[in-house]
Structure 1
Amino acid sequence: MTVAAPPRATQARAPRPTLIEQRPMRNPDLSSREVMTRRGWWLVALNFLIPGSAQAVAGGRRLARIGLGATLVMWALVVLAAVGALLSRQLLVTLATNWFVLLIAQGLLLAYAVLWVVLTIDTLRLVRLVRTGGLARFGIALVAVVLMVFSSGGAAYAAGVAGSARDTIATIFGQSGPSVPPSDGYYNILLLGADSAKGRDHMLFDSISVVSVNAETGATTITGIPRDTRNVPFSAGPMQDMYPDGHAGHSDAFCGWDNKINQLNTEVGQCLDGDAMYPDAADNGSTPGIEATKDAAEGVLGIEIPYYVFIDMDGFAALIDALGGVDMKVSERLPTGAIHQNSDGSLSGVTGWIEKGTQHMDGDTAQWYARSRYTTSDWDRMKRQRQLQVAILDQFTPANVLTRFQSVAAAGAEIVNTDIPQSLLPYLSDLAIKAKEQKVTTIELTLESVGGIGVDPDNPDFAFIQQYLNETLHPPTASPSPEG
């Protein structure tokens, strides 16, 4: 008798998950508004946080590769910039001030901004808004658009900043001479201020000072030379050949009615053959009158001054407005307007007054604050100009400049001329960062300088001036005390 084998015990198998359960982002349950709404929010978030990832999980592979590749490149560049800032800030500034690097950066940022728009539109297609909840579909669309404006707009703004920086550098430093090493440990720069509307060749410089920046520490000393300083000596060159005993002034009333330092620009530009005296001036981004003023400042201070920066005071207000104004502490009530002093000492043309106390000044008010001289002395006027210079430097914070970069760059390109070469920008920029951490030392060469050196502009002791400045820039080191 044959006995039938007992049936084999069978183990119940779990049902294989459906495709929808395996890949809910790519193949969601279209019938569930809850699932589609949750999926929509996730896709929008992924598109913002990691552009291209929404396509990677729910869309076309090709667009996903483009988006993720661009995102990885941008992240890599940001990481490299951060590492560069930590390891070699000067290298980072070198790249950031190179016109070709800025051009590439501008192109990449614009392309990334456009790509982000494309990815956002495609993400909204993948969301399938009609399948989401009633209110959620509007919320998802609104958030996606807002995030797109924030991200893509930010990239577009950064591209604009790169373009503005490139144009500004090319405009200001487009015709610059060779780079020279620091002299006795300092970079010395002649800072000139005047109204260029009067004409570049015959304007009188309203403000003359020399900025000395320590090449190691960035410590900055500003020495103000009164515009009325007379009989200035010159460093070796054509002006010294003409005036070996100091500037005597030109006899022509049109060129200069006496021998003040601020009239050299008129004399050399209008009445002497300045182009023959300084044949390389134009090629180096300078003028004969500025070069003559450099030679005079070198003779007065006894230092080498290879570079200049000219600021057009007529457009100076635009830079201050671009920075959002400037805070100044006014110690004396000052008049504003096209002022004329009458023979009896009264003033005409006064349009307003700058009151005592702390004032937040716009560009026009700050300009009059620096110019006003009829109710105060030249010393006080120079002091106010120096205070304004320092206050403006304080306004150049990274946050302020970045948020206002376009207008600051445009204003700077309009009012600044210099012969500082582009190759020196990274080094000077690095020193400028160090300088912001230190107090600026100021020296005013006037009789009224409180705590200063007391110099008579009509009869200056140039040997004393040179000795004083040398001791300021190179203070004697304390000798170690003997042991025991």
Structure 2
Amino acid sequence: MTGHVESGGAGRPKGRRSTVLKIAGLTAAGLLVLGAGAAGLAYWHLDNNIKSVDINQALGDDRPAKAVTTPSASASASASPLPSGSLNILVLGSDSRSGKENKRLGGGSSSGARSDTAMVVHIDAGRKKATVVSIPRDTLVTRPSCPLKSGGSTAVAYNAMFNSAYSVGGPVCAVKTVESITGIRMDHYVEIDFSGFAKLVNALGGVTVTTDEDIDDDDSHLHLAAGTHHLNGKQALALARTRHGIGDGSDLGRIGLQQKLVKALLDQIASTSLFTSPAKLYDVADAVTGSLTTDTGLDSLSELVGLGESLRGLSSAHVTTVMMPVVTAPSDPNRVVAKEPAAGQLWKSLR
């Protein structure tokens, strides 16, 4: 019949269908914009969490030369665009009590901040092997003159405790002191506080560590029987700080525990497929970035993730952990000094 419109889709008024399509399209576009905006906001949030120090600007040319490295043949043949040259990174654990969480985890009433843990991480060209060298905080060293934020510089100090460098001149002086001891230029600097370390372990789902002896340390509040344990963040931090419940009660005993933790963290990162799970990566980044201080070469989320991805092939089985050789200081039985020529040979081998 003339003028009759059937109820099938072919006969639906074009204006109505066009309106529906427009609404659907705008809705989809809106969702995409909101999603991109949320992702951008999350990225901005994480990026701005990271504190940084321009160590290169502060130290200028008064430091060891950069190492010139050539990646291994297998690394060179790889199609991966990730960097693969060798790296030297100074990793410090700060005992700062700033903030409620650090005070709670650190206990006591210590003021200021010192380097509670210091590790020189040397990553071989190709980034498949690494050596982690712990420097005991009680080592007596010649602390070089360091620039200060307020202008001027500190005086050279002889027979100074290694961890005092951070106290008097922050990350810049810590790096300069390590470079003066080792003769090795630090390509990067990473510092994490008590809270950040505990949050990292929790975000990874804990770490599994095997202890060779019972640990009973009332100061760190850690009590573990010898054996294998899965630790949460607070327990892992206590293990990293334990010294009175093991060995001779000195700083040297706990270095072995800290090195176990380094390997345990690598194993846990591998088991969680961190770099193939955006949600897990975000959780870890959100937990850690607010507690990180880096050099300006690592002060963005993209740079940190890029470094992590370049180390994806590094397993705990290919990480060697050692302590800088030391002996009891002649001037103080509670302090140590570098044992020569062994210490010098160790640094030379890394150079």
Of 389, 393, 396, the residue aligned with 2:266 is 393
Letter paired with 1:111: L
Matching of residue 432 in structure 1 with residue 311 in structure 2: yes
TM-score scaled to structure 2, two decimals? 0.67
Counting only pairs closer than 5 Å after superposition, residues 157-306 of structure 1 correspond to structure 2 as 160=38, 162-172=40-50, 176=54, 183-185=67-69, 186-197=86-97, 202-217=112-127, 219-232=129-142, 234=144, 242-243=155-156, 247-249=157-159, 259-266=160-167, 268=168, 288-306=169-187
Deviations 1:117-156 (A, max 9, x none): xxxxxxxxxxxxxxxxxxxxxxxxxxxxxxxxxxxxxxx5
Instruction: Classify the secondary structure of the residue corresponding to 2:158.
Output: coil
Matching of residue 363 in structure 1 with residue 233 in structure 2: yes
Aligned partner of 1:313 in structure 2 is: 194
Please state which structure has a larger fraction of its residues in strand: 2
TM-score scaled to structure 1, two decimals? 0.51
> Paired residues, what number?
294
Residues 1:393 and 1:203: Cα distance change in structure 2 (over 3 Å): same
Residues 1:237 and 1:430: Cα distance change in structure 2 (over 3 Å): same
Checking the alignment, whether the CA contact within 8 Å between 2:91 and 2:118 is kept in structure 1 is yes
Please state which structure has a larger fraction of its residues in helix: 1
Aligned partner of 1:89 in structure 2 is: none
Matching of residue 334 in structure 1 with residue 232 in structure 2: no
Distance 1:203 1:289 in 2: 9
Instruction: Classify the secondary structure of the residue corresponding to 1:376.
Output: coil
Instruction: Classify the secondary structure of the residue corresponding to 1:231.
Output: strand
Distance 1:352 1:338 in 2: 8
Q: Cα distance, 1:321 vs. partner?
A: 1.6
Distance 1:177 1:242 in 2: 19
Checking the alignment, whether the CA contact within 8 Å between 1:337 and 1:368 is kept in structure 2 is no
Matching of residue 417 in structure 1 with residue 293 in structure 2: yes
Letter paired with 2:252: W
Q: How many percent identity over aligned positions? A: 24
Comparing both chains, which one has the higher relative contact order based on Cα–Cα distances under 8 Å and sequence gaps of 6 or more?
2
Deviations 1:161-216 (A, max 9, x none): 55333322222156656699953433222111122116998322210111223354
Distance 2:285 2:165 in 1: 30
Distance 2:237 2:306 in 1: 30
Residues 1:437 and 1:60: Cα distance change in structure 2 (over 3 Å): farther
In our comparison, the structure showing a higher alpha carbon Rg is 1
Residues 1:403 and 1:237: Cα distance change in structure 2 (over 3 Å): closer
Instruction: Classify the secondary structure of the residue corresponding to 1:435.
Output: coil
Query: What value does the CA root-mean-square deviation take over the aligned residues?
Result: 4.1
Residues 1:465 and 1:426: Cα distance change in structure 2 (over 3 Å): same
Distance 1:363 1:237 in 2: 34
Deviations 1:307-345 (A, max 9, x none): 321111244222222222111122222125436xxxxxx
- Gaps of at least 5 residues in structure 2 are 70-85, 100-109, 328-333
Checking the alignment, whether the CA contact within 8 Å between 2:52 and 2:294 is kept in structure 1 is no
Aligned partner of 1:460 in structure 2 is: 338
